[in-house]
Structure formats: structure tokens, C-alpha cells
A and B are shown apart, each in its own frame.
Chain A
Amino acid sequence: MFPSYSKKTENNKQVIEQRLLTQKLNLAVDLDRCTGCGVCIDACPEEAITEGPIGAVSRGKAKVSKVDVDPKKCSFCGVCNILCPFNAIKLSVDGVEKLPILEQQGFPVLEKKAKIDDEKCSRCVLCEEVCPRDAIRRDVAKVDQGHKAASTMKYAIDYKLDDAKCTKCGICAEACDAFKIEYKEPTPLTVKRIGEVKFDEKKCDACKVCVEICPEDAISIERKIIEEPKLSGKVAIDTNECVTCTWCQVICPKDAAKVEKVFEGELTINTANCPAGCSTCVDVCPCNALYLPVVEEAGHKPGKLAYNKDFCIYCGACINACPADSTITMKRNKINVTGEKTNLYNKIEAKLFAEKTPKIKEA
């Protein structure tokens, strides 16, 4: 009978469904994107979402969802969808992605400011390499060797042939496609080849092999760079996937990436409470901000755990996953959103601002 509820996992998505007589409401948690950060748990006005075995799931030891949504409690408002920093929850109505709350009541949305300045960007690969969320879209043509490599530059060729010296011997044409020799075979009368050396500037990349190889020193070639060389194409940030960790901004050698964190706050680590040998937090951290420090020299005791403040986005995944007590403490103090802050939003924000630290839960 209606309403009827269901929950199933397919295509690596946990989908809960509410069927009314005429309407079908769907909430899908993308298991690949979900990090277990728990923002949705705090955000849910109906307290319909609970936390799963985050560490085990991220290590592939449990094939369940990191968060669990109760279809009977869920009101399909879509707040979780709006506030999920990892773009992992999608609400759909009758099979179409939709957010009625935005349309009807209004609700502020996360503001992810993340951009790459095309002018400054040199199309290098660093940001793509470090991005922990695959949010960099690097659309740059693959470059091979030779002519193609030259195609990454804008240049003009200054080509000269000393006709008096040229014997039309054909060596330049043997060496390079840019040359073509049109000639007449020698006759007893002419004794030498008579003709013309044709040069196709478009095929030339000014490698100057012809200059070196010409036995008569008849060719001269100069390359004049017109514009600063740059790989062709574009590097951009996909803000749907971006979680504003700032890795790309920090590593960009050209200062081209500009990212503002969606959450701001503070994180402190109390290593004394960490039992060590666990590293769950390091494994679950979606931003590669936490790390196990290494021994740098004989006798150096590096401590059990550390994090790089630059990269932490105060998502809370480590807090949720840590099996120990009071190891890591997180406090958010700002959430960057656009749109009018409604009462509902303010209530949720207060919950998200509460200080959080792992607690050993009684069974």
C-alpha cells in the first residue's frame, strides 16, 4: 500500500525510494563519492541518516554504504543533497533530478570557489596529479615528438636558399618532407640537374637538419617565436567534484589556481590519545591532509599523526572514522554559501558548527 518504501544498492549507489500513488521519490547515495564525512547526518532535519562502518568501507573490507538513510524517516527534502560537499547525494522526483526545496522555500547552496586562470596556467600536470577528488579537467592534446612537439609553439620561419650554391642534389628532400625538388635530369648538354627547390613552411619546424646536411651550405633557416610557447588546450576545475581542499592552488607553479574553502575551521590532533598502528583517519581523509610522519634521521621520533592545515576542509570524515577517544578535534566556524539563509539553514549551521571529536561508543 502507499506510501511504500524500499532500499536497495545497485550500480554502487544506495537508493531509497518512497512511492506515492502518483509520485516516486528517490534519494541516491553514490558510494564512490561518499566519504563518510557526516555533514548530511548533521544536516538532515528528520535525523534519517546514520553513520556506517566508514573505515571498513574505505578499505574495501565491507561492501555497504558509509551512511545509511532510513526511507521511512526521510522526507525527501534534499537538504543533504544541497549540503553534501562531495556531490554524493542526489534527490530525484519521478526519475528526474530535482530540488523542490530550492524552488519552493529557498535554501542557500554551498559556494565552491575554485578556478584556474587560463592565462597563467601553463598546462602542466601537477594539479591533475595531486587532486584527491579527480576534479581537474585537463583537456590538453597529447604531444608526441618531432613536428607535433613543434605544434605547441607559435613561430615564423625565415627560410633562405642560395640558388647559386644549390646543385638540386636532393639530400634535403630525402631528409625532410618540407622540401620537394622539381628538376630535369642532366643531359650531355646541361650536365647538371636543372630545376627548383620547393619549401613548404607549414611542414617545417625549424629543426635545421637540412641546414646541417646540405653539402653546399645553401640553406639557412631561422625560427622566430611569435608567442610564448604553451601546450594547447585547457585545464579547468570541475566544481561538482571539487571539494576545495586547495591542493592545486598550493602546488600550482604559475599561481593560476584560486580556491576558497567551502568550510573553514580548526583541527587539532591529540597524539597522546591515538593508539597508533591504525591510520584509519589517514585512509579516509578525502583530501590527503592527514599523514603518518616519517622518521627523518636516526633517533628522530616523528610522532604518530600529523596533518597539513593547507589541505584540511573540515569535513569530519576522520572524526567519524576514528575508533579511539578524543584523538582529533574539529570545529567549523564558517560555511561559504550563497543564497538567503533560512531558519532551517541557520539551525543546521549551528549543528555543523558544534565541536566534534571521536568518542568510544558503548555497545
Chain B
Amino acid sequence: MSAKPLKVQNEVLIKNGYVYDPLNGVKGDVKDIAIQNGKIVEPSKLSTKAKVIDAKGKVVMPGGVDIHTHVAGPKVNVGRMYRPEDKLHDTMEHRTDLLRAGGGFSVPSTFVTAYRYAKLGYTFVNEAAMPPLLARHTHEEMHDTPILDQSAFTLLGNNWLVMEYIKKGQKENLDAYVAWILKATKGSAIKIVNPGGTEAWGWGKNCTDIDDPVPYFDVTPKDIITGLCETNERLGLPHSIHLHGNNLGHPGNYTTTLKTLALTENIRTNKKSGRNQNVHFTHAQFNSYGGTAWKDFVSKADEIANYVNNHDHLTIDVGFVTLDETTTMTADGPFEFTLHSTNHLKWANVDVELETGSGVVPFIYDSRNHVFGIQWATGLELGLLVKDPMKCFLTTDHPNAGPFTRYPVVASWLMSKKARDAKLATLHKWVAERTQIKDIDRELSLYELAQMTRAGPAKALGMSRNKGHLGIGADGDVSIYDLDPKTTDIGQQPEVLVKALEGAAYTIKGGDIVVKDGEVVSVDAPKYTIWSDADGFNNKEVMNDIVEKFLKYYSVTLNNYPVQDVYAPHQQVIKAGPLAGGN
């Protein structure tokens, strides 16, 4: 008796491309990649019916993985709503038989967000800041962001119960609560934004240093960061704590950053998680500043890069400034107010009961101004001075430092000194004087780009089993760029790189060809929401505390709080904590 043959479908064979797959050590070898039923398989497994893509003379990479971007949820939508003019700066996408209308230069609408990411060859993007109470909003928008697999980080760095458990030293309770709220919000990781500072902003104050006490709660940012990091490792969540530090965007803040990074040096990373770091420090560019005021503002990216090079417990992403008119949006309420006080542009603020805060302010990174030029250089210095791209990822903190559609241009700056110098020549003279950017000759390779945009983020997210590589068993997410590394000298022809990255020759999502020749051709690819379930606790005390908080302080009832399954019709649940057999 022979086994019943498996029904095979969705077969794709990508032939003869230059494959860049850092997690499997493939450095531009000419290889065939085969996809069957949405997964990468041995090419020999394919039937004769497989669709064949001729990738000869083209670059083949895993689908792009964005570890940090603001694309779904209340704060993003405030940005969309209160910036109608943002649509004027944009070539709006009109409706076709296949595609929805939409747009927005810095804060595109949901459908267009997906189309634009897909055109860049990205297949997984992570929403970086989800207020728990408003999780449904985030999930509804993710539902209207087709093609891309997504996850969302749950904001916990200013959460009342988190601070109370940390203050009382109740570690088990903190574990159980974090697991509960990740489940309730279908979040994938612990996000910490300006720990303590945003709660202080509830009183119009801030925590600018890791030792500043939070009003009433009497814990410090330091306690919050280490407390949540330890919980994260005990739970063995796929991603580490994802940290937006205190004192963001202020001259001289690099000292705060170094102190912050040192906090978790001695916390053991839970290796079951599939990652190496215990903290991911996000948009580090904004926290790498020297000087004392904007007048004597200088880059200290070298100090931060140095720290990253010498330590293995952390990863960072950069937050490259793209020098555009954009929109800033963060859960760092006090920072957004400071920003508004400097540029006097419209300011939105939302404080979320017991949980977090947020602010939105438009921002014009004017290339004539030395500050923005230095910010631009600071980001590139980080990207170039961190030796291992598996520790330093390409982001723009979309849309805070610039919209994600600028990733190809950022890549050209990283990969071509010529492109950098050309941009530098248009900037304020202080940029060259106060940064090292003109002296850095490094040009990243395509392999390193794949590390910064695929392998690194996937590994750091603890998702490198399925994402960020092209090994057997990985998700069939592939991007193919019309770029021949043998005939193109990217260093000398950065514009060729930009053109290739801006419109992928093919983007394949779960075996479906969704982009061809830079145009979206299908929106039917399976799309998953990925979240982390570590809630195997039965902690009565924590449940009582939660019930009490809802009865006394929340404006909704507990029963209406958790996100129901209908909000995430296609879920992938990563089991951690007790559910994964404990740690």
C-alpha cells in the first residue's frame, strides 16, 4: 500500500537567481528556490506543474521583515485623520479591479501600506506600539492590511499593574499578568516606551533618566526595564523586550542610552526563544546624541556602536532619518509635546487609562538645518559602525524618521559612499564637521543588507524558524530584485539599486506571486496575525488584581476587554511560558 499522495498546489520554482540567505550562509550563490503549499521545499519535490520564474541575473532574498513600524492602530490613525495635507504630498493610488484606493505620503492608509511594503519585497511587518485597551483598533487595521503577515507589540512600560508588581517585587505575579495581557491583546512582545516617563506625563511630567521615580508608583525606569526583561526571559517569549529608551531626542542623551543598555547585561537570555539578545533597543539613532543643546549638538553614534560591538545581549534598529516632511507618532507623550513646543506644528495627544499615552506631531526634517543633517549622519554612522548587521537593523521607525517607502534610498546610502557623499554635499557644513560620516568608507554588501532587513530582524523576533530565510521549511516568502550583482557596481550606481529595491521584480508571499515587475498583481495571499501565548498560569491573586482594576478604575468591563478571535481570523500562535513546557 502506498501513502495517499499529498495534494500539492501553489508550486513555484525560482530558477538561477543570486540567492542571499544569511541565516543559511548563502552569499549570492546561484541557486533554485522551490515553494510548495506555502513553504520552501527541495526543488526536487516539485511536480511538473510548478510555475517557473526565471531569476537569472536577479537577486533573490527572503521576504523583508520589518521589526519596527507604525502601521496600525489608534495613534497611526490619528496621524492619518489629522493630516489630510499628507495626501496632497502623495501620488494617491486609485482604485482598480484588484486594488483599493488610498494613500498618504507619510501615513498611508491600510491597504496602500500593504501594497507599498509588498512592492519593496517585504512580507512581514511588525506594528511597534499597541495600547492594550485599543488593541481591537490595531487588529481591525491589520485585518485591512492585506498580504503582509503582522504582529503587534503590546505597550507595557507604563502599565499600572506592571509598575505595582515591580514595586512590590512580585515577580510571579508580573509574569502571569504579562502573559494574560499579551493574550488579551493578541500581542507578540513586550514593548517599553519611555518607561515610567509616559505615566509621569499623565501629570505633565517626565522621567528623563533611568533613576527618575515615577510619580506615586515609586518605581524607576531602571526597575521597569530590568523587571520586564526578567519576566520576558522567564516566559521565554519569542522576542526580547523591545525598548524605546528614556530621554529620547535630546542632546547628550547617549549617556542615558549607555546606562540603559547596561541594565540587562547580566540577565540570562532564554535560549528556547530562538534569539540571542535579551533587549532590543529601537530607533537607536534618536538616542545617540552628544552635546548639551542643539547649538553644540553632535553625533555619538560611535559610542553606541562601540557598545553594541562589544556586547552580545542586545540588538538595535536604527531609525534612519530620511530628510522628508513626515509625521511623528509615539507612545512617548512628553517627547511629542517637546517636539510640538519646538516646531509649533499641530499636536495630538491621547492618554490611555492605566496603560500608556501617545502623541502625534508633523515634522519637517529640513536638509538645510544642521540638526536634521546630523541626525541623518548619526543613523548612517550606526548602520556602518556596528560591525555585525545581525545586530543592527534597517528601520526608519516609520513614519517617525521617515516613511518606509524610503528604505531603498537608505539602503543606497549604506551601500554606496558615492550616494552618501552626494547627499552630504547638499547638507549644512556642520554635518561633515560634527560627525564621522565623511570618513567612513564602509559600503554594505547585498548579503549584509539581507542581514539587516531579513535575517537579523527575524532572528531577533524569535521567528527565524519560518521567517527571514529560504531554508527548507521556511515560509514561502521571497523577494526578487532586478539587480545583477555581477554586472552592477552598486557603490558607483546607487540609483540602479534604488530602482530595483523600490519595485521588486517579484514578491512572493506564502507561495503566491503578489508583486510582479513592481506592481501588485494579487491580494489573495494568506495573511496571518502572529501573537505570543504564554498564559498557562492560574494565578488567583493576579486575576483578583485585574478584576479589581477593572471594577474600580477602567471605564470598560473586564468581559469586554480581551480581543475576540474574530478580530484576528487568521492567527498563528507562538506558545511560550508554561504552555511551552516552562523554562
Q: Which residues of chain A are within 8 angstroms of B216 by Cβ–Cβ distance?
A: 298-301
A340 to chain B: closest CB distance in Å?
A: 56
Residue-wise interface mask of A (203-239) relative to B, using a CB-CB cutoff of 8 A (1 in contact, 0 not)? 0000000000000000000000000000000000000
> Among residues 281 to 321 in chain A, which have CB atoms less than 8 Å away from a CB atom of chain B?
297-301
Instruction: Return the 8 tightest CB-CB contacts between A and B, nearest first.
Output: A299-B215, A299-B216, A298-B203, A298-B215, A298-B205, A299-B203, A301-B216, A298-B200
Q: Do B217 and A299 have beta carbons less than 8 Å apart? A: yes
Q: How many A-B residue pairs have CB under 8 A?
A: 16
Given contacts A298-B205, A299-B214, A299-B217, 7 further A-B contacts (CB under 8 A): A298-B203, A298-B215, A299-B200, A299-B203, A299-B216, A300-B215, A301-B216
Residue B204 interfacial (CB < 8 Å): yes
CA distance A299 to B167 in the complex (A): 15
B219 to chain A: closest CB distance in Å?
A: 11
B579 to chain A: closest CB distance in Å?
A: 37
Q: Which residues of chain A are within 8 angstroms of B217 by Cβ–Cβ distance?
A: 299
Look across to chain A and name the residue whose beta carbon is closest to the beta carbon of B199. Answer: A299
A287 to chain B: closest CB distance in Å?
A: 32
Q: Which residues of chain B are within 8 angstroms of A300 by Cβ–Cβ distance?
A: 215-216
A297 to chain B: closest CB distance in Å?
A: 8
CA distance A300 to B217 in the complex (A): 10
Interface CB pairs A-B, < 8 A, 16:
A297-B215, A298-B200, A298-B203, A298-B204, A298-B205, A298-B215, A298-B216, A299-B200, A299-B203, A299-B214, A299-B215, A299-B216, A299-B217, A300-B215, A300-B216, A301-B216
Look across to chain B and name the residue whose beta carbon is closest to the beta carbon of A301. Answer: B216
Q: Which residues of chain A are within 8 angstroms of B205 by Cβ–Cβ distance?
A: 298
Residue-wise interface mask of B (325-358) relative to A, using a CB-CB cutoff of 8 A (1 in contact, 0 not)? 0000000000000000000000000000000000
B114 to chain A: closest CB distance in Å?
A: 42
Residue-wise interface mask of B (188-231) relative to A, using a CB-CB cutoff of 8 A (1 in contact, 0 not)? 00000000000010011100000000111100000000000000
CA distance A4 to B543 in the complex (A): 67
CA distance A71 to B217 in the complex (A): 59
B: number of interface residues (CB 8 Å) = 8
CA distance A299 to B202 in the complex (A): 9
Look across to chain A and name the residue whose beta carbon is closest to the beta carbon of B203. Answer: A298
Look across to chain B and name the residue whose beta carbon is closest to the beta carbon of A298. Answer: B203
CA distance A299 to B196 in the complex (A): 12
A293 to chain B: closest CB distance in Å?
A: 15
Q: Which residues of chain A are within 8 angstroms of B200 by Cβ–Cβ distance?
A: 298-299
CA distance A297 to B204 in the complex (A): 11
CA distance A299 to B219 in the complex (A): 12
Q: Which residues of chain B are within 8 angstroms of A298 by Cβ–Cβ distance?
A: 200, 203-205, 215-216
CA distance A178 to B134 in the complex (A): 82
B351 to chain A: closest CB distance in Å?
A: 14
Q: Which residues of chain B are within 8 angstroms of A297 by Cβ–Cβ distance?
A: 215
B202 to chain A: closest CB distance in Å?
A: 8
CA distance A60 to B204 in the complex (A): 38
B81 to chain A: closest CB distance in Å?
A: 31
Look across to chain A and name the residue whose beta carbon is closest to the beta carbon of B217. Answer: A299
Q: Which residues of chain B are within 8 angstroms of A301 by Cβ–Cβ distance?
A: 216
Look across to chain A and name the residue whose beta carbon is closest to the beta carbon of B201. Answer: A298
CA distance A301 to B215 in the complex (A): 10
Look across to chain A and name the residue whose beta carbon is closest to the beta carbon of B218. Answer: A299
CA distance A241 to B299 in the complex (A): 75
Q: Which residues of chain B are within 8 angstroms of A299 by Cβ–Cβ distance?
A: 200, 203, 214-217
A48 to chain B: closest CB distance in Å?
A: 45
> Among residues 143 to 198 in chain A, which have CB atoms less than 8 Å away from a CB atom of chain B?
none
CA distance A301 to B218 in the complex (A): 12
Most interface-central of A297, A298, A300 (chain B CB within 10 A): A298
Look across to chain A and name the residue whose beta carbon is closest to the beta carbon of B215. Answer: A299
CA distance A343 to B341 in the complex (A): 77
B330 to chain A: closest CB distance in Å?
A: 21
A272 to chain B: closest CB distance in Å?
A: 14
B132 to chain A: closest CB distance in Å?
A: 22
CA distance A297 to B203 in the complex (A): 9
A277 to chain B: closest CB distance in Å?
A: 13
CA distance A297 to B200 in the complex (A): 11
CA distance A68 to B205 in the complex (A): 53
B466 to chain A: closest CB distance in Å?
A: 44
A300 to chain B: closest CB distance in Å?
A: 7
CA distance A301 to B217 in the complex (A): 11
B217 to chain A: closest CB distance in Å?
A: 7
A333 to chain B: closest CB distance in Å?
A: 38
CA distance A104 to B200 in the complex (A): 71
> Among residues 253 to 300 in chain A, which have CB atoms less than 8 Å away from a CB atom of chain B?
297-300
CA distance A298 to B207 in the complex (A): 12
> Among residues 214 to 265 in chain B, which have CB atoms less than 8 Å away from a CB atom of chain A?
214-217
CA distance A299 to B200 in the complex (A): 8
Look across to chain A and name the residue whose beta carbon is closest to the beta carbon of B213. Answer: A299
Look across to chain B and name the residue whose beta carbon is closest to the beta carbon of A297. Answer: B215
CA distance A300 to B204 in the complex (A): 14
A47 to chain B: closest CB distance in Å?
A: 42
B448 to chain A: closest CB distance in Å?
A: 47
A276 to chain B: closest CB distance in Å?
A: 11
A222 to chain B: closest CB distance in Å?
A: 58
Q: Which residues of chain A are within 8 angstroms of B214 by Cβ–Cβ distance?
A: 299
A75 to chain B: closest CB distance in Å?
A: 52
Residue-wise interface mask of B (166-200) relative to A, using a CB-CB cutoff of 8 A (1 in contact, 0 not)? 00000000000000000000000000000000001
CA distance A298 to B197 in the complex (A): 12
B258 to chain A: closest CB distance in Å?
A: 28
CA distance A300 to B205 in the complex (A): 13
CA distance A298 to B196 in the complex (A): 13
Q: Which residues of chain A are within 8 angstroms of B203 by Cβ–Cβ distance?
A: 298-299
B215 to chain A: closest CB distance in Å?
A: 2
B567 to chain A: closest CB distance in Å?
A: 35
A243 to chain B: closest CB distance in Å?
A: 39
Look across to chain B and name the residue whose beta carbon is closest to the beta carbon of A300. Answer: B216
CA distance A298 to B201 in the complex (A): 10
Q: Which residues of chain A are within 8 angstroms of B215 by Cβ–Cβ distance?
A: 297-300
Q: Which residues of chain A are within 8 angstroms of B204 by Cβ–Cβ distance?
A: 298
A352 to chain B: closest CB distance in Å?
A: 39
B167 to chain A: closest CB distance in Å?
A: 13
Look across to chain B and name the residue whose beta carbon is closest to the beta carbon of A295. Answer: B203
B477 to chain A: closest CB distance in Å?
A: 47
CA distance A298 to B216 in the complex (A): 8
A21 to chain B: closest CB distance in Å?
A: 65
A350 to chain B: closest CB distance in Å?
A: 43
A296 to chain B: closest CB distance in Å?
A: 11
CA distance A298 to B203 in the complex (A): 6
Look across to chain A and name the residue whose beta carbon is closest to the beta carbon of B205. Answer: A298
A273 to chain B: closest CB distance in Å?
A: 16
> Among residues 377 to 393 in chain B, which have CB atoms less than 8 Å away from a CB atom of chain A?
none
Most interface-central of A299, A300, A301 (chain B CB within 10 A): A299
CA distance A300 to B203 in the complex (A): 10
B301 to chain A: closest CB distance in Å?
A: 34
